[in-house]
Amino acid sequence: MNRFVWIALFILGLLVPLVVYPVFMMKLLCFALFAFAFDLLLGYTGLLSFGHAAFFGSASYVTGHLVKNSGLTPELGVLAGTLFAGVLGYVVGSLAIRRQGIYFAMVTLALAQIVYFVALKAPFTGGEDGLQGIPRGVLFGLIDLNRVYSVGGHPLALNLYYFVFAVFCLGFWIIHRTIHSPFGQVLKAIRENEPRAISLGYKVDRFKLMAFVISAAMAGMAGATKSLVFQLASLTDVSWHTSGEVVLMTLLGGVGTVFGPLVGAFTVVTLQSELSSVGSWITVIIGSIFMVCVLVFRRGMVGELARLLKRPL
Amino acid sequence: MTFALETQQLTIRFGGHVAVDAVSCAFAPGTLTAIVGPNGAGKTTYFNLISGQLKATTGRVFLHGEDISGCSAPQRSRRGIGRAFQLTNLFPNLTVLENIRLAVQSRAGVGLNLWSVWSHHRELIGRAEEVLETVALTAKRDLAAAALPHGDQRKLEVAILMALEPDVFMFDEPTAGMSVDEVPVILDLIRALKARRDKTILLVEHKMDVVRELADRIIVLHNGALVADGEPAEVIASPIVQEAYLGIEVAK
Ligand SMILES: Nc1ncnc2c1ncn2[C@@H]1O[C@H](COP(=O)(O)OP(=O)(O)O)[C@@H](O)[C@H]1O
Ligand SMILES: [Mg+2]
């Protein structure tokens, strides 16, 4: 990918809150990071996790709890949530990676349901209500994330937005580096032909586990950041709906593409906010759109576009 | 002398069927041994037991005198047993160059490197390009492996093994299904490899003229058992080969 494209996108990311409602953008960035983390497994390693909300959601609880009750600064809160998700990823990954295909998906789903159960019953998660009123705090003890700027008469939470944007860029960069490292090449080899990767001398279980941990940690980083944006960690974040949503975003956008998860997250988050008035029909509508996309665009939106333009996107 | 590779009473059963039956055989370093026998004789399965793709029911495998029977397939590969597959076994959606790079990378031991960028490893890419050159696939380096015609896929299969640079090379019918003008590329590679005299080569091959020319020694498998072993001329002339193997060769 051309350096100018990256720079242009970065500048776009800096300017976009002046035009687009920042809360929408922050939600999009959190879910896009979540989808990129998920795609590291599905698109680049060939592993379908059906329990990724466990990492997204548990990190949002951990961060929320530490920031709210232990007075951690936001950057340390997000770091703690990320590390927690990574450790949880190690546990879940160790149990799941020996299974193949659908059995792998089932193990991740089952373990995620245990995490959901813990979130429902544990004393510090707020049960059905979740953790509410999580303070956004003061970044590095210097920058107040609650600060609102008035731009052209509109109040914009720019400090918070740029914090979220920085976290997103960091997460995206980590995932991007992983994919393009020698390690990432081996992940692709595993996706393509696991027995042959083994015969070349790669201990594939170790690679899969490391990919799983990185993916879980990045999903956690997304969830941790989300808890600061919405000042809320809730059961929805750890539910299988959220696990399904990230699968949906990634497939819609295009598995194993550079921008697919972002486009998929954009589509789903936009639909959710545009259609929020129609209530529970939203599930049916998104489901139908998903069906159409899967049938018409087998490679996802970005995947199909890349094929038309004959270049990786 | 320590043998490069040795199997002792190597056996595998699939249910009641004994696919490899107590095969004891030792391979001297620097030699090329041809393994012949009719289809279903157990040649590929014998390779699978040596490279660790399959676990032996009983029997042992030694590499340079060391018992590696307990080692996993990746461990055996790292210790220097490499193989090319009879059924082309590539990374279909990766490019030709990437297929080879993966072998080069494994050889160089940089698999777990997460911090560097692939394209900055010039020395590994250079090595992959070198190997590509030897199988005359340079012009197709950026094509997906799946897009190659069969003959080129066979060449790539062999090139991956070459890039791995093991001590023991196992070729399983490397020229099967190749057109006549493509075969020499592969045979030249094997010939050059043999000429170095520092690698041990096991070659499953049906073409008797090839075997006669290349092999230092021939072993014959039949119904999973080792039934003949010796100098090429002697083995080819033996009644058991004439009957068990060449009969089929002639019929083909
Ligand atoms: N995984 C397996 N399960 C059951 N039978 C097998 C398996 N692999 C090989 N066989 C049987 O073992 C015998 C030897 O096969 P193979 O080693 O492929 O023969 P060759 O390579 O000499 O043609 C055949 O009868 C085959 O059906
Ligand atoms: Mg065979």
Residue B54 has pLDDT above 80, yes or no: yes
Q: Would you say A264 and A253 are in contact if contact means Cβ atoms under 8 Å apart?
A: yes
Q: pLDDT tens across A15-32, in order?
A: 888 888 889 999 999 999
Domain-wise residue ranges, chain B: 1-72+169-174+199-252, 81-165
Q: How confident is the model at residue B251 (pLDDT cuts 50, 70, 90)?
A: very low
What phi-psi label fits residue A89: left (phi over 0), alpha (psi between -120 and 50 degrees) or beta? alpha
* Ligand 1 atom closest to B37 (CA): 22
Q: Would you say B183 and B175 are in contact if contact means Cβ atoms under 8 Å apart?
A: yes
Q: Which residue of A has its CA nearest to B80?
A: A201
A233 part of a folded domain = yes
pLDDT of residue B244: 61
pLDDT of residue B247: 56
Residue B83 has pLDDT above 90, yes or no: yes
Q: How far apart are CA B221 and CA A266, in angstroms?
A: 61
Q: How far apart are CA A120 and CA A113, in angstroms?
A: 10
Q: pLDDT tens across A42-65, in order?
A: 999 999 999 999 999 999 999 999
A273 part of a folded domain = no
**CA of residue B163 to ligand 2 center, whole Å:** 23
Which residues have CB under 8 Å from A230's CB, separation 6+?
A: A27
Which two tokens mark B117?
Answer: 């960028």
pLDDT of residue B119: 85
Whether residue A199 and residue B83 make contact (CB cut-off 8 A), yes or no, is yes
Place of tokens 């190659």: B148
User: Which CATH number is correct for B1-72+169-174+199-252, 3.40.190.10, 3.40.50.300, 2.60.40.3080, 3.10.20.30?
Assistant: 3.40.50.300
Q: How far apart are CA A179 and CA A211, in angstroms?
A: 10
The nearest CA of chain A is from the CA of B7 a distance in Å of 19
**Do B1-72+169-174+199-252 and B81-165 come out as alike in CATH topology?**
yes
- Beta bridge mates, A144: A138
Mean pLDDT of A266-272: 89
Q: pLDDT tens across A116-127, in order?
A: 999 898 888 888
Q: How far apart are CA B63 and CA B165, in angstroms?
A: 16
Q: Would you say A237 and A7 are in contact if contact means Cβ atoms under 8 Å apart?
A: no
A261 part of a folded domain = no
Quote the percentage of chain B above a pLDDT of 70: 96
pLDDT of residue A280: 77
Q: How far apart are CA A168 and CA A132, in angstroms?
A: 23
Residue B1 has pLDDT above 80, yes or no: no
pLDDT of residue A204: 94
pLDDT of residue B246: 57
pLDDT of residue B215: 94
Which protein residue has the closest C-alpha to ligand 1 atom 5? B14
- Whose CA is closest to B23, among B238, B229, B232? B229
- Whose CA is closest to A34, among A248, A304, A231? A248
- Whose CA is closest to B158, among B137, B179, B180? B137
Q: What is the ipTM of this complex?
A: 0.89
Residue A166 structural domain? 20-238
pLDDT of residue A1: 65
Strand bridging mode B32-36 / B200-204: parallel
pLDDT of residue A214: 97
User: Which CATH number is correct for B81-165, 3.40.50.300, 3.30.70.270, 3.40.50.920, 3.40.630.10?
Assistant: 3.40.50.300
State the total domains in chain A. Answer: 1
Q: How far apart are CA B220 and CA B230, in angstroms?
A: 9
Mean pLDDT of the residues in chain B: 90
Residue B24 has pLDDT above 90, yes or no: yes
Using a 10 angstrom Cβ sphere, with 0-12 exposed, 13-18 middle and 19 or more buried, the burial of residue A102 is: exposed
Q: How confident is the model at residue A174 (pLDDT cuts 50, 70, 90)?
A: very high
DSSP three-state, residue A55 = helix
* Ligand 1 atom closest to B41 (CA): 22
Lowest mean pLDDT among A249-253, A289-293, A299-303: A289-293
Q: Would you say B59 and B7 are in contact if contact means Cβ atoms under 8 Å apart?
A: yes
Mean pLDDT of B89-106: 94
- Is the beta carbon of B48 within 6 A of some atom in ligand 1? no
Q: Which residues of B touch A217 (CB under 8 A)?
A: none
Mean pLDDT of A250-268: 92
pLDDT of residue A288: 86
**CA of residue B14 to ligand 1 center, whole Å:** 9
Residue B252 has pLDDT above 80, yes or no: no
Beta strands in chain B (DSSP E): 5-14, 17-27, 32-36, 58-63, 66-67, 81-84, 168-172, 200-204, 217-222, 225-230
A161 part of a folded domain = yes
Q: Which residues of B touch A188 (CB under 8 A)?
A: 91, 94, 98
